[in-house]
């Protein structure tokens, strides 16, 4: 019965970021520019890493994965939002909404796990450099990447199936600009205790555990760096992980603000802004953070541009 009731909902209404008509034009322009920058920046990063042999290392292998996730993460939400803004329609079909929810949860989970894997990689590189190649072998890197993707898609499948079983009755207005998990559950006229329990369990396991891995890795990295006697040596060593740390702070800072603040301070408007930061702004900035603060990436970019200019 629950499945039958759920399938009666043909479409939902995405209320978007704001209901002010005068902001439609600026919002279209801003999000279109940010989306194109995301695609070009992360696409360039993937291309440069793939073509440059000097970047064929574990760190850049995982960075390539992260860039792909960032492209897909934003592509799940922004094209539909832009389409609705341009056409002045706010509807999204039930199947589109469920599909969007699935891939949003999958790529958000993959982002969390990959950031923790990259933190561990930096710890091994700095804390155990003599055995780095052995510990982070090609086989290990591929296995870690595959496990990250598998866990992400299985987690998304679980949440999607749990939402699919819900009945929504006449509640079809989603207080968001995409089909996010919490706003959809809030629409249901059924008991959502199982969904709430799974969200809590997932947040504990797939958000907090990766964050703890990152935290422990950086505590050990800092401890190792402090043992280096020369200031120049400390700065050089820290520079190898500063870009990743910046990305972690940007992503997790927003997630912590969104999901781990007191319920008394909850606001859907704050949730929407937070979602824009970690779903749009952070993925757009990541390739620039890595390229501007990484000598190897800048050198590879320069060589790629020189080759393109000379060939033309």
* The pLDDT of residue 262 is above 70: no
Q: Is residue 227 part of a domain?
A: yes
Looking up residue 185, the CATH number of its domain turns out to be 1.20.1070.10
Q: Write out pLDDT tens, residues 192-235.
A: 888 888 888 887 788 889 999 999 999 999 999 998 888 888 88
Does residue 113 sit within a domain? yes
The answer to the question of residue 253 being in a domain is yes
pLDDT classification of 3: cutoffs 50, 70, 90? very low
Average pLDDT of the residues in 86-106? 92
Using DSSP, state whether 93 is helix, strand or coil. strand
Strand pairing category for 173-174 and 11-14: parallel
pLDDT of residue 53: 86
Is residue 134 one of the residues assigned to a domain? yes
Residue 5 resides in a domain: no
Q: Is the pLDDT of residue 263 over 70?
A: no
Is 244 a member of any domain? Answer: yes
Token duo for residue 133: 């190649």
Report the candidate in 243, 245, 257 with the shortest Cα–Cα distance to residue 287: 243
pLDDT at 2 over 50: no
Asked if 104 contacts 179 with a C-beta cutoff of 8 angstroms, the reply is yes
Max Cα separation, the chain?
69
Q: Is residue 3 situated within a structural domain?
A: no
- Domain that includes residue 128, residue range: 11-307
Tell whether the model's pLDDT for residue 158 goes beyond 70: yes
Domain membership of residue 1 (yes or no) is no
User: Are residues 8 and 92 in contact, defined by beta-carbon separation less than 8 angstroms?
Assistant: no
Res. 278 pLDDT band, cuts 50 70 90: confident
Total count of domains within the chain: 1
Between 60 and 190, the more confident residue is: 60
Q: For residue 265, what pLDDT band results from cuts at 50, 70 and 90?
A: low
Distance CA 304, CA 133 (A): 27
């Amino acid at each position: 019965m629950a499945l039958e009731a759920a399938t009666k909902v043909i479409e939902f209404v995405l209320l978007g970021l704001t209901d002010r008509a005068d902001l439609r034009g600026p919002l279209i322009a801003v999000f279109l520019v940010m989306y194109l920058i995301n695609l070009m920046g992360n696409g360039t990063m993937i291309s440069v890493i793939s073509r440059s042999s000097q970047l064929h290392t574990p760190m850049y292998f995982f960075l390539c994965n992260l860039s792909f996730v960032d492209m897909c993460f934003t592509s799940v939400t922004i094209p539909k939002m832009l389409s609705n803004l341009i056409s002045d329609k706010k509807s999204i079909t039930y199947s589109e909404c469920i599909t969007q929810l699935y891939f949003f949860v999958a790529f958000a989970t993959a982002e969390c796990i990959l950031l923790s894997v990259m933190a561990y990689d930096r710890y091994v590189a700095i804390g155990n450099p003599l055995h780095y190649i052995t510990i982070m072998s090609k086989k290990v890197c591929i296995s870690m990447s595959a496990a990250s993707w598998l866990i992400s898609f299985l987690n998304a499948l679980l949440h999607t199936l749990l939402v699919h079983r819900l009945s929504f009755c006449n509640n079809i207005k989603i207080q968001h600009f995409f089909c996010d998990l919490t706003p959809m559950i809030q629409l249901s006229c059924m008991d959502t205790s199982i969904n709430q329990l799974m969200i809590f369990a997932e947040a504990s396991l797939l958000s907090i555990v990766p964050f703890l891995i990152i935290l422990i890795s950086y505590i050990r990295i800092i401890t190792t760096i402090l043992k280096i006697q020369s200031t120049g040596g400390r700065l050089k060593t820290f520079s190898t992980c500063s870009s990743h740390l910046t990305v972690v702070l940007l992503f997790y800072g927003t997630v912590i603000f969104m999901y781990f603040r007191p319920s008394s301070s909850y606001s859907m408007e704050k949730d929407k802004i937070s979602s824009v930061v970690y779903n749009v702004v952070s993925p757009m900035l990541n390739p620039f953070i890595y390229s501007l603060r990484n000598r190897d990436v800048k050198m590879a970019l320069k060589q790629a541009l020189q080759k393109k200019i000379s060939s033309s």
